[in-house]
Structure 1
């Protein structure tokens, strides 16, 4: 069985990252059938012309769809790109994620082995450069000494994507991978970071990204992969290398970012939870745990105002507002709140 794949990218004022992301994608040992770019930049046409000119030869056999964003928002842009994609599999990448040359080939091998469509998402592994094929690549070995002490390892295990996200229902199934792919180097995955997301398009069109999270969409990837796990398994193909160029240019304070994190999670529970009392207890327990963890982390990093601790304490105080106050048209109320507090970045 041969499947096709589409690369979708959402971008905003970062053509210097976008050009390298495209260079790596078009240089794959298994190239995409199409590339869909949704650009929220004011000068999106200039960016489009640059990409068309830079890769003129590639667009002879790879379809390019380059359009302006209908709404300047990551979740809206991702849904817009998904609606334009036509392939079986979609690689939805940030504009600063560079694929290793054989990453797509490795990922597609997993989907094609899964003839019964038991797998909804396959993710690769964030790996440092240079961009070598898997057969030549070696991975860093664990360092010894204080930097990898048991205490540090424990702290790191508490700060994963899965730990920060409080599910509305049952957790993601982490049982054995389907029998059809057990001969491949894959293993079960928890929630998937948005920068290294690939999925079956037919499942994603039923799920999509929640447009409730409009600005600084923290938790949008956890929410998306959690809901995708209801359609099929999430797996990791560690030989598929993804390099994150780390183009995060946010100037928001740590307190602000983590306040958005807790608000977004509470908003998701307000919309999706079948049991708000249970959600309130789960969120309170999670926020309390992170308050305790970040007392140590903020202190160790000399953040004497304890911004992350304060953000999670604020989250606990906000639980009654988000989950129990009779707010008419909650979605509009929360989007309006984001517009007032965070939308300035997208108006510049």
Structure 2
């Protein structure tokens, strides 16, 4: 829907589970934008989602002073961030969906910065735009002051210092990217044929100021033209916390337009602890999801199966090094990667039509283990 002033409209799209305090803060930050949302769509898989809906209604009434912001609050029967996001996207009507995590807090001018880029793209060649993560010492301190339990406040501070050190060292950047695989484009197996995606050439032709090209958008802070998202929904075969669902979805969005990062669109990704699953399971699911995405989408599965095993072997080494560097002597990430490497051949043996149902069962066993 186009707003009365002829500008594109935007809406907040959030999947949430058992984090009502964090969800309220996320919505408060969205409502405080210098360019306010037209709607807020939330899919909540919590048992007490109706109580959470009541809190969001109160937040909306207090923050908007009577301004019209449509609220869509869905109680979702399945704990699946991918399926929850799809439900919220389908129920929305705004032109652009801000698909962010419930622990992502947008700075006041974030939406205005991003929406100005969509408005400037009259031909609709931009499919999605990401913000930049400004979380660090300040973000952690603010979150702790508000009573939010962080996943690892000390780890966030150490990560900020490490990022600062990496920016000063070309060798460190290479090690992180090529050895430790700390890069989205190193852990995702591209299954589409070359030439089917909008890339750097499209981004260069657009020449939108304050942007840079990216192939993948981060799940904590991505936006997408809703018409594109409806053509390429999140993979509905994923359950629970879905590692790399954002990479798969935004990769497919690249079939319809270019993806960019807006350098001035700041988001504090707090990384609250509640709702997380263990490192071993996250790593196992991340690799198994990669095999699943490739089996489901690749037109050349034999070729891409071989490519997957090369990636998976590198992941086992990378996760082992990361565990040792950070002092996790039980090697949870390495064990998760090794488990996935050993069991992934079962993915390639599945008939494509039966794959989502079969994979749902496998995910349940991983999550229960």
TM-score normalised over the length of structure 2: 0.83
Cα distance in 2 for residues equivalent to 1:143 and 1:75 = 29
The one-character-per-residue Cα deviations of 1:46-73 (angstroms, maximum 9, x if unpaired) are: 1111222233141532111222114332
Aligned partner of 2:52 in structure 1 is: 47
Moved more, 121-130 or 240-249: 121-130
CA distance 1:223–1:54, change in 2 (3 Å): same
Q: 1:322 to 1:123 in 2, by over 3 A?
A: same
> 1:308 aligned to 2:333?
yes
Counterpart check, 1:38 vs 2:72: no
* Counterpart in the other structure of 1:166: 189
1:156 and 2:176 aligned = yes
Task: With the length of structure 1 as denominator, give the TM-score of the two structures.
Answer: 0.88
Which deviates the most, 227-236 or 333-342? 333-342
The answer to whether the 8 Å contact 1:113/1:181 transfers is no
Do residues 103 (structure 1) and 110 (structure 2) align? yes
Change (3 A) 1:142 1:182: farther
Q: Distance in 2 between matches of 1:27 and 1:186?
A: 24
In structure 1, C-alpha distance between the alignment counterparts of 2:191 and 2:163, rounded to whole Å:
37
d(CA) in 2 for partners of 1:143 and 1:44? 37
Report the Cα offset of residue 270 of structure 1: 1.6
The Cα of 1:96 is off from its aligned counterpart by 0.7
Shift of 1:20: 0.9
State the SS of the aligned residue for 2:200: coil
Work out whether residues 53 and 73 of structure 2, in 8 Å CA contact, stay in contact via their aligned partners in 1. yes
Q: CA deviation at 1:151?
A: 3.9
- Tell me if 1:240 matches 2:265: yes
| Deviation per residue, 1:71-125 (Å, 9 max, x gap) | 3321111011001110111111111110110000010011111111111001110
Instruction: Name the SS for the 1:42 alignment partner.
Output: coil
Superposition map of 1:182-331 within 5 A? 182-250=207-275, 252-324=277-349, 329-331=354-356
Structure 1 residues 104-183: aligned runs within 5 Å? 104-128=111-135, 148-157=168-177, 158-170=181-193, 173-178=198-203, 181-183=206-208
SS of aligned partner of 1:9: strand
The answer to whether structure 1 residue 65 and structure 2 residue 72 are counterparts is yes
Q: Structure 1: any 5+ residue segments left out of the alignment?
A: 132-139
Task: Say if 1:327 and 1:240 are closer, same or farther in 2 by CA, change over 3 A.
Answer: closer
Q: Structure 2: which 5+ residue stretches go unaligned?
A: 1-5, 140-159
2: CA distance between counterparts of 1:328 and 1:143?
43
In the superposition, relative to structure 1, how do residues 183 and 256 fare at CA in structure 2: closer, same or farther (>3 Å)? closer
**Alignment coverage as a number of residue pairs:** 336
